[in-house]
Amino acid sequence: MTAMLRASLVIVATVCLFMLFQNCAPAKVSSTGADSSGSGGSTDLGSNSQEPASTPAPGVSPTPTPILTPTPAATPTATPIPTATPTPTPTPVPAPAVMASATSLNLGDVGLLDRSKTQTVMLKNTGTATLTISSRVVIGSGFSVDPSTAVTTCGSSLAVGQTCSIGIYFTAQMFDKSTGMLRITTNAPNSPLLIQLEGNCPFF
C-alpha cells in the first residue's frame, strides 16, 4: 500500500507540474489574425512586443481672462438750494404822532396876585393820521390855560402836518417860586405830553 501511495503522489505531482508549465508558457498569436495552426508565422507575446506610443493630446490654449472695465463713478446730483421766500413788508398802519415845541415854560417873575404874560406851546401832528386831543390839564397853583382863541388854537383834533398852540399864563398866589405841569392827552403813541411850568413871586 505504501508503494501505491507513493505512485499516486508521483502522478499528482507530475500532473501539477504539467499544468503549471501550460499556464506559464507564452501564448502564440498569429500575426495575420488567423488561428495559430495557419500558415502564417506566429508571434510570441512574451518576446519584445511594445504597445503603440500614445499620441499626445494637442495643447489647449488657456482662455484669456476678460479685463473688467471699471464702472465710472456716478456724478453726485447737486442739491438745489431753496430760494428764501422774502418776508412781505407789512403795510404801515396810519397813526398820528405829536411833537411839542418846548418841554418847559418859565413864566418869569410877577407880583403877588399879578398875572404874567402868556407863553405858548406849539403842537404839530407829525404822524399819518388825524391827531385827537382829548384833554389839556394844568396842574399846579397859579397856572392856567389862556382861553383866548387868538392864543390857544388847539381844538379837539389836528390834521396830519398841521400845528396849533396852547397859551399858558401864571398868577402868583404867594411869595415864592411855583412849579406846575401842562398835561396833554392825545391818541398818539407818545401820549401824554408833559410840559414843565415855572413861575416866581419874589418878596420885595
Query: Does residue 140 contact residue 177 with C-beta atoms inside 8 Å?
Result: no
396842574: which residue's cell? 139
Instruction: Look at residue 37 in the predicted model and tell me its pLDDT.
Output: 43
Number of structural domains found in the chain? 1
Query: pLDDT in tens for each of the 204 residues of the chain?
Result: 566 777 777 777 777 677 766 665 554 544 444 344 444 444 444 445 555 555 555 666 677 777 777 777 778 887 888 888 888 888 888 999 999 999 999 999 999 999 999 999 999 999 999 999 999 999 999 999 999 999 999 999 999 999 999 999 999 999 999 999 999 999 999 999 999 999 999 987
Residue 75 lies in a domain: no
Question: Residue 52's pLDDT is what?
Answer: 55
- Dihedral sign for Cα atoms in the order 23, 26, 31, 35: negative
Cell of 176: 415864592
Greatest Cα pair distance, the chain, in angstroms, is: 203
CATH of the domain at 151: 2.60.40.10
CA 45 vs CA 19, 28, 48, 49: distances in Å: 20, 7, 8, 6
Cα–Cα distance, 119 to 104 (Å, whole number):
11
Q: Is 77 helix (H, G, I), strand (E, B) or coil?
A: coil
Q: How big is the CA angle at 98 (ends 93 and 101), to the nearest 5 degrees?
A: 155
- The pLDDT of residue 21 is 64
Evaluate whether residue 16 is within a structural domain. Answer: no
The answer to the question of residue 111 being in a domain is yes
Determine contact, residues 125/157, Cβ cutoff 8 Å.
no
Q: Which of 199, 200, 201, 198 minimizes the C-alpha distance to 104?
A: 198
Asked if residue 139 is part of any domain, the answer here is yes
Whether 195 maps to a domain, the answer reads: yes
Q: Would you say residue 113 lies in a domain?
A: yes
Q: Determine, yes or no, domain membership for 186.
A: yes
| β-strands 119-125, 98-100 pairing | antiparallel
Vertex 158 angle, CA 155 and 159, to 5°: 150
Could you tell me if residue 44 is inside a domain?
no
pTM: 0.56
Identify the domain containing residue 102 by its residue range: 98-201
For residue 18, what is the enclosing H or E element?
Answer: helix 2-24
Q: How far, in Å, CA of 201 to CA of 108, rounded?
A: 8
